[in-house]
Structure 1
Amino acid sequence: MTLSLTLACLWAVIANIIALTPSPDNHWRAAYALTAVGIPILGYVTMQHGPWIGMLVLVAGCSVLRWPLVYLMRWLRRMALQGPAE
């Protein structure tokens, strides 16, 4: 297994361990840290293995970080419905 896939698997294991632990802020700080670390890993996987494997790793990351993704989609929809700022 290549280094990029090893890092992606390690990221997934760490994310699942974090999800099992209690958190006073509902894991938002951990979600920010996982996102900041996961984006470069995703780029590395895509660079080494191509876009299809990169998309699989992206889907796996989105399944772990689904609530930040839901809130991002809600925010984007709200911004789109408001129209351009005047």
Structure 2
Amino acid sequence: MGSLGAACLWAIVATAVALGPRRFHWPAAWALIAAGVPILGWVTFENGWLAGLVVLAGGMSVLRWPLKALIAHLRLG
């Protein structure tokens, strides 16, 4: 399947989670982050830094609420 296929599968799963009930969003976000970091490394290793940046931007757009919560938490101390 390859690294880009795994990244696409991750995006499909993330979209399906977003369409699901709200109570599953945060636990699923943690699972998506845990699965997405190795996939991001794999994509970057196999396809170069530019593809890694594209996948990172896609992941950040899907997981924007956990990212906003992390930034707010870091600002508050």
| TM-score, shorter chain, exceeding 0.5 | yes
TM-score bin, normalised by smaller chain: over 0.9
Q: In the alignment, residue 36 of structure 1 is paired with which amino acid?
A: A
Gaps of at least 5 residues in structure 2 are: none
Distance 1:72 1:44 in 2: 24
Q: Report deviation, 1:23.
A: 3.3
Query: In angstroms, what is the RMSD of aligned CA positions?
Result: 1.2
Which residue matches 1:74?
72
- Paired with 1:50 and 1:12, the residues of 2 have a C-alpha distance of 19
Query: Is 1:46 the counterpart of 2:66 in the alignment?
Result: no
| TM-score where L is the length of structure 1 | 0.84
Q: When you count helix as a share of all residues, which structure comes out higher?
A: 2
Alignment: residue pair count: 77
Q: After TM superposition, what 4+ stretches of structure 1 lie above 3 angstroms from structure 2?
A: none
For normalisation by structure 2, the TM-score amounts to 0.94
Structure 1 residue 24: Cα displacement: 2.4
